[in-house]
Structure 1
């Protein structure tokens, strides 16, 4: 037989060259074409509030250092349906990882399953969705640690006795409800002369929290304590005490971001804020998203960066833990710029 013609040899070479040019679909760089960075999309409970803006700052800082893309898109109000719609839109965009702080964990669970079915990795951060198909939860602090810290701080001001109430945010927020459960049980055991009389829900609305706190002080004239369970209700309850001229008579503590709660700490309408480094939580969320996207197995202790050298991971619950809560006072509030 005759050998291949010159034309066939050239054609074969072109085909082989084209095939070689297609390599890189495994995530490695093709010839002269850099691999696309991992895309991580954060979906907070609500857009535009200082807490989630601080998380976004941390996520953006991590993205620059880790070589990933980070975006943040949240609903205008604490609306589970709107949040679910955002997640579905991100799935359609084929992002690599979605990190969600669910407003309603039960409502979000089927949406998470849809995302996973379509090949999008899903983690939760700040708030969990237990029982869902999420792959990992980035937790700021344990419910026990936060609930006890809030209770101890308030009881210190109330002398370990008296009536107090809680102004929370979303009724279905998993993290807030877990903290409240700890506060209720811890109060009954540790402070038997104190009583949690009522818990109300303001959404993520400071003005509504202020109005509800005023209503509680009217309903319970002997109320001496208020807890703002989230970063909008913490300044809200302090504002109510300030406007009703009850500073020194009704004490407030809460989960408030430093620079928002600062004026209330300075005039005494707020006694203390229990929080954590929110920017670090955002950074850890981006880092965890990258590990999940790359299929990396976390160890019991993980070095994230110099500021987060020993992050714990619990395999049983697939939970990454930022650490212990911080106690923010008028003395140390300016250490935090958000």
Structure 2
């Protein structure tokens, strides 16, 4: 996986700490003043990042990657977003970005369809290039989607991990983000099929939603374990959810009895791996995801690509990428983190 060779712990720690100031609604960073030497034309490119919500460590890291890329090509970086992960909360920021005439909007969508009207208005009236990352909208509402990895690969690795950890049999549940989250829903559909096809002795008893909120996810974990006393594992395909589930299990009688896995960041999950609550989880590098999305946005603004299948562009330290079907660019395969390697990463 590409990020293994390009990040040191020290660098990642500095980048992640730099994101801590980017948590207020509508916070802004202008990256153009001290990085114009990186590119001859990047100063004309203004990129606004709109995550699902601010104050989320995952998006703090991905947006820091976006800021790093924009600084490299000498553009102007801004981060805005709602405090809670709702589609209504994102609409006003899309409208403001269009009114301000930003070159590109890079967003992780809280709903695949609800944002389409505002996004298409921004594209049609202000020529804003729209790049989604992490969670997509309908393909006709954006120019490119930068995906963490192939949906099948993400879903399969999560099923494989839970199967290995519970001996390929028993009851499991899924603790997802919001019910309308495009990416989680796609992964869950593939997980269900994979379980049916390849793991007949594993029973998926429930799918619940923590709305990417720590306390809600914590409470949903408690409810699952009380409702299903024979539950052997929980998959949480969201960084907020897996950390909340692990936090609950780590101080309960379920520790060592109920497996927790899914998608998380090393810094969130380190203590739970070290104390034995979590055996293994997976993720891509969210910093690389934001970094790639910013370079994709620049390529669109500069006219290097249109988002058509077969288009290619350079993404700085990550190298060259090609646009696939449906205007999708894939970062790479997910990586498994466990006690043997977790201390090699800091994000």
Q: 1:4 corresponds to which residue?
A: none
C-alpha separation in 2, matches of 1:163 and 1:169 = 20
Give the deviation of 1:312 after TM superposition: 3.7
CA distance in 2, matches of 1:296, 1:304: 12
TM-score (norm 1): 0.86
Aligned partner of residue 246 in structure 1, secondary structure: coil
Gaps of 5+ in 1: 1-33
Q: Which residue of 1 aligns with 2:294?
A: 286
Equivalent position to 2:332, from 306, 323, 329: 323
Residue 140 of structure 2 aligns to a residue in which SS? coil
Identify which of 84, 89, 92 aligns with 2:91. 84
CA distance in 2, matches of 1:158, 1:311: 38
Query: In the alignment, is the contact (CA less than 8 A) between 1:273 and 1:329 conserved in 2?
Result: yes
Which whole-Å deviations, capped at 9, do the CAs of 1:90-111 have from their partners, x for residues lacking one? 1111111111111011101111
1:276 to 275, 284, 299: 284
Shift of 1:313: 2.0
Partner of 1:311: 321
Deviation at 1:66, TM superposition (A): 1.2
* Counterpart for residue 120 of structure 2: 113
Q: Distance in 1 between matches of 2:247 and 2:43?
A: 48
SS in 1 for 2:97: helix
**C-alpha distance in structure 2 between counterparts of 1:302 and 1:39, whole Å:** 18
Given that residues 59 and 285 in structure 1 are in contact (C-alpha distance below 8 angstroms), is that contact kept between their aligned partners in structure 2? yes
Q: Check if 1:97 corresponds to 2:104.
A: yes
For residues 8-29 of structure 1, give each alpha carbon's deviation from its aligned partner in whole angstroms, at most 9, with x where no partner exists.
xxxxxxxxxxxxxxxxxxxxxx
Give the conservation status (yes or no) of the 8 Å contact 1:60–1:70.
yes
TM-score (norm 2): 0.84
Identify the match of residue 264 of structure 2 among 250, 256, 259.
256
Structure 1 position 130 matched with structure 2 position 130? no
Q: 1:265 maps to what in 2?
A: 273
Q: C-alpha offsets along residues 264-322 of structure 1, whole Å, 9 cap, x if unaligned? A: 1111212222100111111101100100101112756654234x2343421x3111110
Report the more deviating stretch, 34-43 or 316-325.
Answer: 34-43
**Consecutive aligned runs of 4 or more in structure 1 exceeding 3 Å deviation:** 298-303
Q: Which residue of 1 aligns with 2:183?
A: 175
Which residue does the alignment assign to 1:337?
346
C-alpha distance after superposition, 1:35-72 (max 9, x if no partner): 95200101000101111011111111111211111211
C-alpha RMSD of matched pairs (Å): 1.6
Aligned to 1:191: 199
Partner of 2:246: 238
- Of 287-296 and 129-138, the range deviating more from structure 2: 129-138
Which runs of 5 or more structure 2 residues have no equivalent in the other structure?
1-40
Conserved in 1, the CA contact under 8 Å of 2:43 and 2:74?
no
